[in-house]
Structure formats: C-alpha cells, structure tokens
Amino acid sequence: MTQAISRVMTPTQWAMLVLLSVLWGGSFFFAGVAVHEVPPVTIALARAGGAALILNLLLPMIGQRLPRTREVWTAFAVMGFINNVVPFTLIFWAQGHIASGLASILNATTPLSAILVAHVATKDEKMIGSRFVGVLIGFAGVATMIGLDVLDGVGTHVAAQFALVLAGFSYACAGVYGRRFSKMGVTPMATATGQVTASALFLCVMSAFVDAPWTLPSPSASTWLALAGLASLSTALAYVIYFRLLAAAGATNLLLVTFLIPVSAIAMGVWFLGEQPVARQFVGLAVIGIGLACIDGRLLGLGAASRKA
C-alpha cells in the first residue's frame, strides 16, 4: 500500500526540508572549492561515486538490499540520469562562469518547473492559484534576499545561465519521476542508493572520455575535503531525506527546498564566517515565508474558515 501524498506538510516534514536545504546549500560551497582544481564532470563523479560507496555500505547494515529486477534498475538509471548526471554536470560547469548569487536565483526557478511538470504528469499535484502565486512570491523573496544587483549579469554567459535553468527543469522532472519508487515498493534508502549508483556508472564513463581524470594533478587537501563533503553530506545523507520527503510530501513541496537554500547559505555565513546580514536579507526572508505559507495553504485555510464563522 503506497503512502498518500500530503499537500500540506507536517512540522516534521518542514524540519526535514530545512535540513535538506542546509545540506544542499553546502554543496554550492563545496563545489566552489573543488571547481578550481577539478573539472565539472569529475566533480560530479566524485559526488555520486562517493555517495554510492557510502550508501551501498550502509544499506546491508540496516537490513535492506537493492532490488534486482530489470524494471527497478531501469527506473534507477533514468532517475540517476535526470536527477544527478544532467543537473550535477550543468551546475558545476555553470559555477565556473557566473556569480553564485545569480546562480542561486536561477536555481530557484526549480519549483516553477516542478509545478508545471507535476500539473501535467500527476493527478494529485495539480496547479492551483495559491500554490502558483506562492511560488512566484517565494522566487521574488530569493531575488530580494540575494540582491537585485546580481541581475546585472543577466545576458552575459548566456550558456551558463541556460544550463542552470535546464538543471532546475531536470530536477523538477526527476522529482515527479521519482514518485514511482514508493509505488514499486522500494524503500527511500534503497531508492537513494540505487539511483546514485546508476548515476555513478554513467559519470564514470563520461569522466573517462571527457576529463581523463588519471592524467590530472592530485588535488589539494582542501579540495579532497570538499569532495568528501559533497559525497557524504550533500549527496548520501541528503538523498535519504529527499526520497523520504518525496514519498510523503510530493514533488512540488519537496522542490521548495531551492527557496530555502539561499536562506541556509546566508545563515551559515553569519554563524560560521562572521558575516553581517543586511536589511534586504531580512525582507527577502519575510517574503519567502509569505510565499511558503501560500503554498502550504494552512494560513489561507484558516483565513477562509474565520470569514465563514
């Protein structure tokens, strides 16, 4: 029996979404370190391959194993390609060409793609007015928080900007496609392991042809640590949370994480690097909160109930 998709997320699911935003927000930092010494496809291979190793070691420790049917592994291959191979490669390449602020804004287009894809491809995640308006408000909040001055870079390095939008669309397609694993009876842990293993195999071949990584100079210790963080925290742990949320909350709710990633990144800068927040960041945070409340629907529901009373 499959778990029903909940459009209104529980407090636990919101907490998991915030944690996921921290883990994925850290991936931009880790990749920013690694991209100076390692080519994009090989960074993607290190991220997926390291995560695959970790998860394949953990899976039997918790009494689970990967399914062996052709149907499930075909689904793993498709999911790994659209959820890892395509977006990882595009994002890591784009990060070498455009500012991180503009990259974050373009990454925040993902929920817009998710709403459109889910509306077409699903029966229980149809576009409704409040959800679409909430996504637009959330996107505006991200732009406000980061600063509209980064939009001065729009029009330059067009290929990199298009790559980030395409990566967001690929994530949106993956979010909808990945719903099938719970219906197939595959656990979130096994799903995370299988799809990242399949993507590692793809990337191993791609890296060999594109980068020939055995010919590259050995990276510095800081780059090795960044790659380890990408694999263990931003991928292995993050995907276990991702597939649990996907099964329970649906693709549209899950991909709201891209609104929270800039919030996490700024918070980490304040807490760990001593950066000083500016007024627009608080305004942007408030706008994002309003957008998320519209998407969640509970506040609007309470307002409607009070008017009827």
Average pLDDT rounded to a whole number, residues 25-47? 87
Q: What percent of the chain has pLDDT over 70?
A: 78
For residue 99, the model assigns a pLDDT of 64
Alpha-carbon distance of 237 to 21, in angstroms, equals 12
297 pLDDT more than 70: no
pLDDT band at 21 (very low <50, low <70, confident <90, very high): confident
Q: Is the dihedral of CA 242, 291, 101, 273 positive or negative?
A: negative
Alpha-carbon distance of 213 to 41, in angstroms, equals 10
Contact 238, 264 (CB under 8 A): no
38 phi and psi angles, rounded to 5 deg = -125, 135
| Residue 63, phi-psi category: left (phi > 0), alpha (psi -120 to 50), beta (remainder) | left
For residue 5, the model assigns a pLDDT of 46
Average per-residue pLDDT for the chain: 81
Model pLDDT for residues 182-193, shown as the tens digit of each residue: 889 999 999 999
Average pLDDT rounded to a whole number, residues 202-210? 95
CB count, 10 Å around CB of 270?
12
Q: What percent of the chain has pLDDT over 90?
A: 38
Residue 236: closest CA among 203, 201, 198, 189: 189
Model pLDDT for residues 144-176, shown as the tens digit of each residue: 766 666 556 555 577 887 888 889 899 989 988
Alpha-carbon distance of 21 to 260, in angstroms, equals 6
Give the residue, 29 or 93, on which the prediction is more confident: 93
Contact 220, 37 (CB under 8 A): yes
For residue 121, the model assigns a pLDDT of 75
Alpha-carbon distance of 202 to 44, in angstroms, equals 10
For residue 309, the model assigns a pLDDT of 47
For residue 304, the model assigns a pLDDT of 45
Task: For the chain, give every domain's residue range.
Answer: 11-302
Average pLDDT rounded to a whole number, residues 181-208? 94
CB count, 10 Å around CB of 183?
10
Hey, which of 20-24, 92-96, 305-309 has the most confident mean pLDDT? 20-24
This prediction's pTM: 0.78
